[in-house]
Every structure is written in structure tokens, then in C-alpha cells.
Amino acid sequence: VQLQASGGGLVQAGGSLRLSCAASGFTLDDFAILWFRQAPGKEREAVSCVSGSGDRIYYADSVKGRFTVSKQKGKNTVYLQMNLLNPEDTAVYYCATDPVFGHEECRHVRKSTDYELWGQGTQVTVSS
């Protein structure tokens, strides 16, 4: 059972990146997937959540209107499309879920330490 995040890179301000989070050993239909990010010297913060059904979605205020989360069920993968990136978006991005809290379907976005299963993180760097 694992999550694997990928797709990070270096981009100029105003650019776009698409992150992927591939699940193995379980189906994403049954669990919400959250995207967190952690910038140097800062706490890990939730930026988005998509429910198992895909019907419920959460965005942090800082990314609303710029980031879009989606699921591709046939590939058991969640994507985070990030547009209009700015230097404040620079961070390591992680996808996460939990065997218990993953069933909350994004009704409650908890602190990062509540989630048990994590992808390895992918670095996003936005230059000004």
C-alpha cells in the first residue's frame, strides 16, 4: 500500500505544473486524497482534498482559482494542476491519506500528523 507523488520541477512565476499521485495496493475510489505542501521553515499545510467519489473538493484560500485537483479512476491517480504559480508556492508537495480519516470525504481537513499514508514528496520551485 503506497502513494507515489511526481511532477514537480522548476518553473517561472506565472507558469504551470501538474503533480500526480499514484496509488498502489488500494483503490482511490474508497479514500480521499489530500495534497499538502511544506516550505522551508514552515509547517506542512493542506492545499487541496478530493473525496473518494470525486464529488467533494477542498482548496486552501491561498490556491483557490489557481489549483485544480482531479481523479482519473482508471489509472488510480490524483492530479493537482497548478496554474499561475508564484514564488510563495515554492515547497515540497506531498499527497496523503489515512485508513480512517480518508473516509471523511474531505468534510474535515485535518492537520498533517493525522494522516498515516504519505507519498514521498515532490519539489516545486517557482522563480521570480
pLDDT at 74 (0 to 100): 81
> Quick one: how far is CA 52 from the chain centroid?
14
pLDDT tens-digit profile, the chain (128 residues): 999 999 999 999 999 999 999 999 999 999 999 999 999 999 999 999 999 999 999 999 999 999 999 998 788 999 999 999 999 999 999 999 999 999 999 999 999 999 999 999 999 999 99
| Nearest one of 116, 114, 104 to 50, comparing CA atoms | 104
Give the pLDDT of residue 75. Answer: 84
Which amino acid is residue 77, in one-letter code?
T
pLDDT score recorded for residue 68: 98
Q: Angle at CA 28, nearest 5°, toward 125 and 90?
A: 10
Relative to beta strand 122-127, strand 117-118 is: unpaired
- Identify the pLDDT of residue 73: 75
